[in-house]
Amino acid sequence: MVAAEFLVPENELKEIWIKHQKKNDRFQLLARHFKVSEIVVARRALDLTLITKDEFFDFYQHRIANENNIDSSGGDFYATQTFRVGRRFAETVIRATREGKLLYNEAYRLTGLKGKTFDEYAERLGFGGDA
């Protein structure tokens, strides 16, 4: 309750609520104002009886459904690694390691990869299989 009051003060929410209560994006507007999530604002509105339980759960279910529809398939870790260290550098490190000219722990330090991740990265760069 203390955290809720700190993040979304009752008096301030009630004052702003009057202007936004009829708007469809009221939780989004209030979330931006208080710099918290929309769910936090909606829950605070419920706790202060500005909305009903049904209104809160309708909003909550709609919000969760929208979040599940967003494509959250991040980037390709190994492609990012190539961008980060450079293909030529990575190939040189892998080649030297495979030829025994560089210790694996040094290769791990230079590339930021370890163990199976290093081996998978090497394979994706065309250095198939383990050494």
Q: Shortest CA distance to 46 belongs to which of 57, 35, 36?
A: 57
For residue 127, give the 3-state DSSP assignment: coil
Calpha distance 27→40 (Å, rounded): 9
**Pair 90, 125: CB distance under 8 Å:** yes
Where in 2-130 does DSSP place strands (E)?
none
pLDDT at residue 21, rounded to an integer: 86
Residue 89, Cα to own-chain centre: how many angstroms?
29
| Cα distance between residue 97 and residue 103, in whole Å | 6
- Residue 90 burial (C-beta neighbours within 10 Å; 0-12, 13-18, 19+): buried
Q: SS3 for 102?
A: coil
List the domain boundaries for the chain.
2-69, 77-124
Tens digit of each residue's pLDDT, the chain (131 residues): 888 889 899 999 999 999 988 888 899 999 999 999 888 999 999 999 999 999 998 888 888 877 666 555 667 888 888 878 888 889 999 999 999 999 999 999 999 899 999 999 999 988 875 54
The pLDDT of residue 63 is 82
CB 52 within 8 A of CB 58: no
